[in-house]
Amino acid sequence: MTAVDWTPFWLSFKLAATTTAILFVIALPLAWWLSRTRHRAKPFIEAMSSLPIVLPPSVLGFYLLWGLSPQSPLGAFFQEIFGVKLVFSFTGLVVASCLYSFPFMVQPLQSGFESLDRRMIEASWLAGKGSWQTLWHVALPNIKPSLITALIVTFAHTVGEFGVVLMVGGSIPGETRVASVAIYELVETMEYGTAHIYSAALLLLSFCVLSGVYLYNRRYRRRTGGFL
């Protein structure tokens, strides 16, 4: 056990934490808007935000690799202006992970907002609260199971990413060699002992995360009489 390099796990956790924080800031207002609006564009926006669920990781990874490369306008802009390389770098992994895990943050939040009693929202508006005040002080505190689900599942999903991060980030030790990529390489080199340790760690993490979410949601429903 002492010979096992845990750096890929710490890198995975760093990537997952960064991705989750960024997605929460981006997805929260979008999920709130989607839950309230009746705009004609809503189905198309929902379809776009849900694409990573059904799109093969190789397809998404290919377009990200093409779009973030130094030969693309976006990649060239960031490299020339900010000196930031978007492919085969941790920054590129964050961008790819944000796109790939986007629906896992948006959908639970949107479902939670849509399950709220509309009279609660209207009462907040009648009390003179603005949209943002209503979101932070009324809506969010009443969708705790959905909020916890969005945060934890997004984190866990990012930790388990493989195809997209491999295509965009490659396998640079200490920078882009996350746990899932490390397992793949260990199997290819027939280092099954270390691969077992890495795989068991991810399996245990995934089980604990999902169990924690289900237990929390169950207890919350009991406290609130079965709502949400």
Helix axes 144-159, 7-36, angle to 10 degrees: 140
pLDDT of residue 228: 47
- Nearest C-alpha neighbor of 101 from the set 147, 148, 58, 150: 150
Q: Over its length of 228 residues, how does the chain's per-residue pLDDT go in tens digits?
A: 446 788 999 999 999 999 999 999 999 999 999 998 989 999 999 999 999 999 998 899 999 999 999 889 988 888 888 888 889 999 999 999 999 999 999 999 999 999 888 888 888 877 877 778 888 888 888 898 899 999 999 999 999 899 999 999 999 999 999 999 999 999 999 999 999 999 999 999 889 888 888 888 888 778 776 544
pLDDT of residue 158: 94
User: What's the pLDDT tens digit per position in 135-144?
Assistant: 888 888 889 8
CA distance 122 to 8: 48
pLDDT of residue 135: 86
pLDDT of residue 223: 78
DSSP sequence for the chain? -TT---HHHHHHHHHHHHHHHHHHHHHHHHHHHHHH---TTHHHHHHHHHHHHHS-HHHHHHHHHHHHSTTSHHHHHIIIII----SSSHHHHHHHHHHHHHHHHHHHHHHHHHTS-HHHHHHHHHTT--HHHHIIIIIGGG-HHHHHHHHHHHHHHHHT--HHHHHHH---TTTT--HHHHHHHHHHTT-HHHHHHHHHHHHHHHHHHHHHHHHHHHHHHHHTTT--
pLDDT of residue 205: 87
pTM of the model: 0.88
User: What's the pLDDT tens digit per position in 198-213?
Assistant: 999 999 988 988 888 8
pLDDT of residue 104: 95
- Please report, rounded to a whole number, the percentage of residues in the chain having pLDDT higher than 70: 97
pLDDT of residue 4: 78
- Nearest C-alpha neighbor of 145 from the set 26, 227, 23, 31: 227
- Nearest C-alpha neighbor of 63 from the set 54, 72, 5: 72
Biggest CA pair distance of the chain: 65
The torsion defined by the Cα of 206, 211, 216 and 219, in degrees rounded to 10, comes to: 170
| Token representation of residue 160 | 């388990």
pLDDT of residue 203: 92
